[in-house]
Structure 1
Amino acid sequence: MAGLGALARKIFGSSNDRKVKGYRARIAAIGALEAELKALSDDALRQRTDTFRQEVANGRSLDDLLIPAFATVREASRRAMGQRHFDVQLIGGMVLHDGKIAEMRTGEGKTLVATLPTYLNALSGNGVHVVTVNDYLARRDAEWMSRVYGFLGLSTGIIVHGLNDAERRASYAADITYGTNNEFGFDYLRDNMKYERGSMVQRGHGFAIVDEVDSILIDEARTPLIISGPLDDRSDFYNTIDAFIPRLEADDYEVDEKQRTASFTESGNERLEVWLSEAGLLKGGSLYDIENVSVVHHLQQAVRAHKLFQRDRDYIVRNGEVVIIDEFTGRMMPGRRYSDGLHQALEAKERVQIQPENQTLASITFQNYFRMYGKLAGMTGTAATEANEFLDIYGLEVVEIPTNLPVKRIDDDDEVYRTVAEKNHAVVEVVLDCKKRGQPVLVGTTSIEKSEQLAADLRKAGFRQRDLSEPFDGRPPAPDDFVFQVLNARYHEQEAYIIAQAGVPGAVTIATNMAGRGTDIQLGGNLEMRVARELADLEDGPEKEARVAEIRADIARLKEQALAAGGLYVIGTERHESRRIDNQLRGRSGRQGDPGHSHFFLSLQDDLMRIFGSDRMDGMLQRLGLKEGEAIVHPWINRALEKAQQKVEARNFDVRKNILKYDDVMNDQRKVVFEQRIDLMSADNVADTVAEMRHVVVDELVAKHIPERAYPEQWNSQDLQDDVRVYFNLDLPVVEWAREEGIADQEVRERLKTAADEAAARKVAQYGEPIMRQVEKAVLLQTLDHLWREHLSTLDHLRSAIHLRGYAQRDPLNEYKSEAFTLFEAMLAHLRQQVTGQLARVELVQTPPQLSEEATLATAIAEHEDPVTGENEVVEAAAAFQPAPAADRNPADPATWGRVGRNEPCPCGSGRKFKHCHGQFVA
């Protein structure tokens, strides 16, 4: 059957060939306009943008404008940048416009390709987002491509770290906005923590093109974006929970040291329920009622702290702090803290000061953020191996774009050695050989640690390592200068320059796979980067033109040397779990028809080889007489490894898909809450919403205390009277009403609603309608945010324990959906009750209420785990929200206080928190 499939592909072409063929028809039509457009003046060419915009406004579709728009961009690029799009680049542009992924080899000009669909889709006026992997690439690409957009009359914005809200708003308002995935995602979350519609920075999610789409939508999508802030002091709670654990007996809990988990037995549950009831911490009758999810979570963390974590092995106590010990290196890691309350549990166990736990204020996965766009497209050099995931998760089809010139790179079969030491020795020998012949070498490693090990082996062989702080002019090292550089994807701008110059003769570069991602390695060097680096101080003029000509000639000479030596030699020191990562490394060589070489060196001690039974293979190779330093090389090994990688890829896909299923539950609720917030912020008056909440609370209280079709003597009238006092601040004679002859629940309901409405009307009369409308909106938004954060925390705790339902033959995902829905309904009920209760007791003093956006954002941090280093990238969320300096504050003049956080000491000097003094609006 496989043979028949191969025969059919030869005769009819693959499905990808047929897709590409469908796009080729329009290339001729675009080319036919070239002569006509060349004859136009610059102004006349620019004028076409206004014409296109008018046609779109009149109802013409963007698809109808594709041919003339692409032809216009091609001509503008030729004039503004001296670069004319190849025909295959036009195909790439059409694929992107159709909302698909264009897989284009390294060096095929993806950055330029993006200008075609970006320009076309910007004509609609809804804005286009171009997403990159780091700030350096966002700036670089925006600066390069804005020459084309500016030439055609479109504006370009950049979103990078360090901008304030006004700058961000201006960048999002541009026709085209370049930025990083993290910044776009964090801006969305921060926007949904604002309290005024006008302070939001994003203006919608129409069309996005994601560069290095595999890195952003798969690699980085493994961890969510999180904005978090410190919780209030809960030391008493942690200490109370901690006191229970030593009282437990051995058969009250079960500990799994291998999985590092702990759970309570039936006897343990019974004991804990009694103790929690005595402490007033148990809601309902059972420990595992939905209301007790957070308590159970912290109990489990406390028993883990006592029974799994050992002092002086897992952590030490130093200067009154619990400091984690790295399990691999044995080193202390000051500043690092366990999450989810575990560190607080350890602090309670050791009787040291308990630091506040961080609470998630807002979070979203990249999957759910990018699925908000009306149209999404992506481009990369490696996407085909993950095509199923792109289609399943994002609805994105992958189309492989043909190269402009045939690929000449030689891809050798893998060499497999028994040990890492033998493998590294073989790599060093190849590097030495290339260095002597003047062939540039790029060595790819899987981690920073393995880069350092290989660097040590090169130093033993007589090489010297250039420090990143050493000046580097991009010229080749001298033949007798055995120098190499180590890059690790941390210093994006500097590394992009070094990677771009990694094609000069004799260059030796060791890099982790993410280092310099998005940067093209050109044999002989990169002209634009060398000009920017070497001629930065020269102004435009004859002298600069002469120097540019010298650099261009130098690069041409160096390229000839590199070509003669065989082009870029790429060495892989390990196979990855994903074939895509291997292909990224291999694709660095052989750009635009250049010769090149790729070769992977493996050992049986590599992670992937160990996972797939290298112990048996090691014994077999020894019996066959494989000597030290010898390698086994065979195409069968390549195929076996590829199948192993496919299995791992499928497993990782299933894991990511399962995580997403759980996040989808939260995402549905997130969308409801965020949309509700925007509606509330946009409304001038939320009185109707507040009144409706008030009436629903009345209905719920009456339904709770007056059973259906019950006689008045069966009513819980005293409890109803007490609840009316709690929620409406009204002392009504409900008990006496129940004694009236002929009274019915409907009559009670109407009396309560009337009394509550009259009390609300008195507040309006007392403080004035404008003030009360402001207070209502403030209370509503703040209460919604507070309950949503608590809800997020509860869902996190629920998710960490829901897998236990599987032991009862229940589907954990369905259980999670059901419980999450129940919790969401409860959150909405609490919202109605708390808003009604707070507004019933509101007392305004001196100053009108302030929304606490400043206080929340000033203490919040934005974080996302780096998929390469495993480190958390932490970003200050809102440096713009700062209080006035203390020296400038006059205690007697509130006008000098600036923005005051609600939990700060009041600047008046009373000693009370601001929210309980001049910022008070809830009694």
Structure 2
Amino acid sequence: MHDDVNDRIGKNMLGLGTIAKKVFGTPNDRKVKATRPLVEKINALEPQFEQLSDDGLIAKTEEFRKRVADGENLDALLPEAFANCREAAKRALGLRAFDTQLMGGIFLHQGNIAEMKTGEGKTLVATFPAYLNALTGKGVHIVTVNDYLARRDAEWMSKVYAALGMTTGVVYPQQPEPEKKQAYRCDVTYATNNELGFDYLRDNMKMELSDMNQRGHHYAIVDEVDSILIDEARTPLIISGPAQDRSELYVALDKLIPELTESHYALDEKTRNVTYTDEGNEFLEQRLHEMDLLPEGQTLYDPESTTIVHHVNQGLRAHKLFTRDKDYIVRDGEIVLIDEFTGRMMAGRRLSDGLHQAIEAKEGCNIQPENVTLAQVTFQNYFRLYEKLGGMTGTAATEADEFQEIYSLGVVEVPTNRPIARVDDDDAVYRTAKEKYEAIVETIKEANAKGQPILVGTTSIEKSEFLSHLLTQAGVKHNVLNARQHEQEAQIVADAGKLGAVTIATNMAGRGTDIKLGGNVEFKVMEAIAANPETHPDQIRADIDEQHKADEEAVKAAGGLFVLATERHESRRIDNQLRGRSGRQGDPGRSSFFLSLEDDLMRIFGSEKLDKVLSTLGMKEGEAIVHPWVNKSLERAQGKVEGRNFDIRKHLLKFDDVMNEQRKVIFKQRLEIMEAADLSEIIGDMRHEVIGDLVDEFMPPKSYADQWNVQGLYAALLEKLNLDVPVIDWAAEEGVDGEEIIERIADAADEQMTEKAEAFGAENMRMIEKQLLLQTIDAKWREHLLTLEHLRSVVGFRGYAQRDPLNEYKTEAFQLFENMLNSLREDVSQKLGQIRPLTDEEQQQMIAQMAAQQAAVQQAAAPEAPQGEAKEGFDENDPSTWGNPARNEACPCGSGKKFKHCHGRLA
């Protein structure tokens, strides 16, 4: 009875929801509808802007700039600015923006993500909000996923901006500094997310304001926003350099490990984990005190002990989890790791976080220094620096919650210019992978027989090559596009829409390149010109255009592009990206997903129940279940996985937010220091705080004179400030108190610094103060980053004590930050106290030495310069000239880096 009532209520509610949507529209429909009056205004202005000369369009830009400077709102200016931009694009590129493209531009300007299907012209859409927002003079960044797209889009769209009187720049790796600075000074700058993030970090390691490249973070438009802000946001950007030599520490700790007994640690071989017991911690603490590796009065549980705890943990792991000739071998005095799956040596591979150094100490090898983090930032925190952010992609709706929560970005689905004519089949589920692949091959053969081009999506290189083998056996001619064939990517994608083409591709395929029915005209023209250099290019283009029309019609008649997916991905977004390759701009097309109960997603999410259902239905071998219910249950499963992955990213971000707040404080301080002409007041305040702390330490407030340690204070002032004052005599005076002593010491210290400033010359003194303060901040921040990394690696264990690791991390990170600022004051005051007037020769030597130290840090922060000659015929913009290097081979560009870390990273 209750179930019947609930069913009826549920159906009625569902019915009401459907009726409400029909009457009021979905929230997305309402957003789209709200832009229509603006689009009509832009269209109404079109005849007026068509009458303007080319110079008239540029004059309009100058008029708009003045109106913005006078305080006019960008929203009020939008219709005129968009109309001017549309006219410029029409003249420069021969493209007139559709109404739906104008809508996309409006949503981007409003700080949203515009979800636009493949082939809807996103590259042109970005020019509208970029132009409007660049009128402020603060610069606009357009972010792409790789350098090829950044250069291509900048070159293509610069014609539009030039027609509007605006400048366009492009930022790329290993770019000369003057060129990079100029690119950032342009009205619109195209760059990859990696290069923008690294330039931000490099700028905040510079010593002079004039050396900084970026000029703030006003507005960014992120192309393929889901790829950049979600997929790539899992890995932080890190600039690293060689750390200080800690070999003595590793050797000292290594001698300690053999003293441990089995009661001192707990070993879990199943999970390859080893931890100290309470008894072990007590033993360690005692021995570390005896060895002077742990200061007296400090315990292993204090925040300051994080680094030493990290290293004794790594020492224990090196001894108890890593076995010689099983996990590694010693060859020519070096530790070489062994791959546990293949048994092969992994030359050049090193374990991180000091573990490799701990193994080197254990085996008595030469200890190579660790790499230390000089600066780091996550994409989440970098892109949240922008005052306003917009994004474009074909697939964002499934990640809408994450975009809203992390970046405050709304997602709006922009209607297509022409209705989608693609047919999306329900998923076909087979019992075994063998049956599934047999059905796939048959389906491909059927479609191929009528000339329909087919794009087959696979989830891994291994599976793409397995299917390729099956198709070869079946006599089907095809192309394979995966990481091993990436240099032919553009060519293979350009051919994928040809009549009878069969293309097997992994998830990496096709970003930034459309699959056009009948093939890509531009590629055909380039090939024909290369083959027939005597024939006039215009004649070649005319012939190919004619031929292409016939090819396009033949492909349309065969059913358009057929996207056939061999598996469901964990994320619906990746599936939608693949499906969206078909049905471009109203073209006909078809998409099908072939699954089996042996697929990872099906195996993890309830395949046993489905298996029973299929058995009960009495399905024969080779038969599939095809029903909308199956689609729904799979979407729910994918939604759960997406939710779990979001939670993991959100949790990681909470930890990074702690560091980010501290990073912003430090970078802001550096900027203020570089902007300041005179730092003597700040330096003086630091010195006075150090004096106050020292007096409070040796002459505690509210204590009696006979409890004062005046001798200790005298020694500390001499050591910390190089200040020789009669503090012992002052303390002996009748009625004198701590406040008065502080005042006298401060006056003496100020007088000493005034004398030094006169001896050095005021200008030199100001420069020394600035350089010293910046260098000390940088050194302290690097040490602090390392300590936070170590704290992060051990704080998770607090969960066993029913304490929240995140709260523990926040508390201790704040305490460590305060300690860092205190020691910064001490270090700066001590160094300035110790400098003395120098001869001209000594002064030049000191300045040169400081410059050399800074140059070493800058070199670590800078992109690697080319180490050798590029391969003959190498063209950075043409992957077909790169050859086919293995991932770990040297890059053919001559940079000296491994291919996977250089041009291979972009493919």
For residue 232 of structure 2, what is the amino acid of its counterpart? E
| Contact 1:575-1:582 at 8 Å conserved across structures | yes
* Counterpart pick for 1:66 among 78, 92, 107: 78
Matching of residues 118-267 of structure 1 within 5 Å: 118-267=130-279
SS in 2 for 1:409: strand
SS in 2 for 1:836: helix
| Contact 2:430-2:597 at 8 Å conserved across structures | yes
Say whether 1:359 aligns with 2:360: no
Structure 1 partner of 2:658: 665
- RMSD (Å) for aligned C-alpha atoms: 2.5
- Distance between the aligned counterparts of 2:567 and 2:587, measured in 1? 25
- Distance between the aligned counterparts of 2:592 and 2:114, measured in 1? 26
For residue 273 of structure 1, what is the amino acid of its counterpart? E
What TM-score do the two structures reach when normalised by structure 2? 0.90
- Distance between the aligned counterparts of 1:185 and 1:23, measured in 2? 33
| Contact 2:481-2:492 at 8 Å conserved across structures | no
For residue 391 of structure 1, what is the amino acid of its counterpart? Q
- Distance between the aligned counterparts of 1:847 and 1:138, measured in 2? 44
Deviation of the 1:329 alpha carbon: 3.7
| Contact 1:791-1:824 at 8 Å conserved across structures | yes
Say whether 1:377 aligns with 2:353: no
Deviation of the 1:623 alpha carbon: 7.0
| Contact 1:409-1:589 at 8 Å conserved across structures | yes
Deviation of the 1:842 alpha carbon: 2.2
Structure 1 partner of 2:57: 45
Structure 2 partner of 1:915: none
Matching of residues 61-140 of structure 1 within 5 Å: 61-140=73-152
- Distance between the aligned counterparts of 1:712 and 1:490, measured in 2? 82
| Contact 1:226-1:862 at 8 Å conserved across structures | no
Matching of residues 314-713 of structure 1 within 5 Å: 314-462=327-475, 482-488=477-483, 491=486, 494-532=488-526, 534-535=528-529, 543-614=536-607, 617-618=610-611, 621=614, 626=619, 628-713=621-706
Structure 1 partner of 2:855: 854
Q: In structure 2, list runs of 5 or more residues that go unmatched.
A: 1-12, 865-886, 897-907
Closer/same/farther in 2, CA of residues 247 and 487 from structure 1, 3 Å limit: same
Closer/same/farther in 2, CA of residues 534 and 710 from structure 1, 3 Å limit: farther
- Distance between the aligned counterparts of 2:284 and 2:480, measured in 1? 59
For residue 715 of structure 1, what is the amino acid of its counterpart? W
- Distance between the aligned counterparts of 2:161 and 2:366, measured in 1? 57
Closer/same/farther in 2, CA of residues 446 and 376 from structure 1, 3 Å limit: same
Closer/same/farther in 2, CA of residues 320 and 436 from structure 1, 3 Å limit: farther
Deviation of the 1:657 alpha carbon: 0.8
| Contact 1:488-1:515 at 8 Å conserved across structures | no
For residue 781 of structure 1, what is the amino acid of its counterpart? L
Structure 1 partner of 2:287: 275
- Distance between the aligned counterparts of 2:157 and 2:888, measured in 1? 31
Say whether 1:734 aligns with 2:727: yes
Deviation of the 1:848 alpha carbon: 4.2
SS in 2 for 1:228: strand
* Counterpart pick for 1:720 among 705, 713, 719: 713
Deviation of the 1:489 alpha carbon: 9.0
Structure 2 partner of 1:2: 14
Closer/same/farther in 2, CA of residues 429 and 239 from structure 1, 3 Å limit: farther
- Distance between the aligned counterparts of 2:325 and 2:589, measured in 1? 53
For residue 859 of structure 2, what is the amino acid of its counterpart? A
More helix by share: 2
Closer/same/farther in 2, CA of residues 591 and 519 from structure 1, 3 Å limit: same
Structure 2 partner of 1:26: 38
SS in 2 for 1:570: strand
Deviation of the 1:537 alpha carbon: 10
Deviation of the 1:599 alpha carbon: 1.2
Matched-pair identity in %:
58
Deviation of the 1:253 alpha carbon: 1.7
Deviation of the 1:831 alpha carbon: 0.4
Deviation of the 1:780 alpha carbon: 0.8
For residue 21 of structure 2, what is the amino acid of its counterpart? R
SS in 1 for 2:190: strand
Deviation of the 1:327 alpha carbon: 3.6
Deviation of the 1:747 alpha carbon: 2.1
Deviations 1:66-99 (A, max 9, x none): 1111111111111111111111111111000101
Closer/same/farther in 2, CA of residues 410 and 274 from structure 1, 3 Å limit: same
Deviation of the 1:490 alpha carbon: 8.2
Say whether 1:15 aligns with 2:27: yes
| Contact 1:413-1:634 at 8 Å conserved across structures | yes
Structure 2 partner of 1:475: none
Deviation of the 1:526 alpha carbon: 2.4
For residue 509 of structure 2, what is the amino acid of its counterpart? A
| Contact 1:227-1:363 at 8 Å conserved across structures | yes
Deviations 1:17-53 (A, max 9, x none): 0110000111111111112222222222232111111
Structure 1 partner of 2:304: 291
Structure 2 partner of 1:765: 758
| Contact 1:489-1:516 at 8 Å conserved across structures | no
SS in 1 for 2:653: helix
Q: In structure 1, list runs of 5 or more residues that go unmatched.
A: 464-481, 864-870, 881-923
Structure 1 partner of 2:820: 827
- Distance between the aligned counterparts of 1:730 and 1:263, measured in 2? 48
Closer/same/farther in 2, CA of residues 605 and 318 from structure 1, 3 Å limit: farther
* More off after superposition, 566-575 vs 385-394: 566-575
Closer/same/farther in 2, CA of residues 254 and 629 from structure 1, 3 Å limit: farther
| Contact 2:267-2:274 at 8 Å conserved across structures | yes
- Distance between the aligned counterparts of 1:124 and 1:13, measured in 2? 36
Deviations 1:852-894 (A, max 9, x none): 332012234779xxxxxxx99999xxx99xxxxxxxxxxxxxx
What TM-score do the two structures reach when normalised by structure 1? 0.88
SS in 2 for 1:399: strand
Closer/same/farther in 2, CA of residues 186 and 271 from structure 1, 3 Å limit: same
* More off after superposition, 165-174 vs 295-304: 295-304
Deviation of the 1:137 alpha carbon: 0.6
- Distance between the aligned counterparts of 1:351 and 1:793, measured in 2? 25
- Distance between the aligned counterparts of 2:381 and 2:726, measured in 1? 52
Say whether 1:815 aligns with 2:808: yes
Closer/same/farther in 2, CA of residues 462 and 537 from structure 1, 3 Å limit: closer
- Distance between the aligned counterparts of 2:385 and 2:889, measured in 1? 24
Deviation of the 1:663 alpha carbon: 0.8
* More off after superposition, 324-333 vs 433-442: 324-333
Matching of residues 858-897 of structure 1 within 5 Å: 858-860=859-861
| Contact 2:144-2:223 at 8 Å conserved across structures | yes
Deviation of the 1:781 alpha carbon: 0.7
Deviation of the 1:536 alpha carbon: 7.0
- Distance between the aligned counterparts of 1:424 and 1:337, measured in 2? 40
| Contact 2:568-2:601 at 8 Å conserved across structures | yes
Deviation of the 1:604 alpha carbon: 2.6
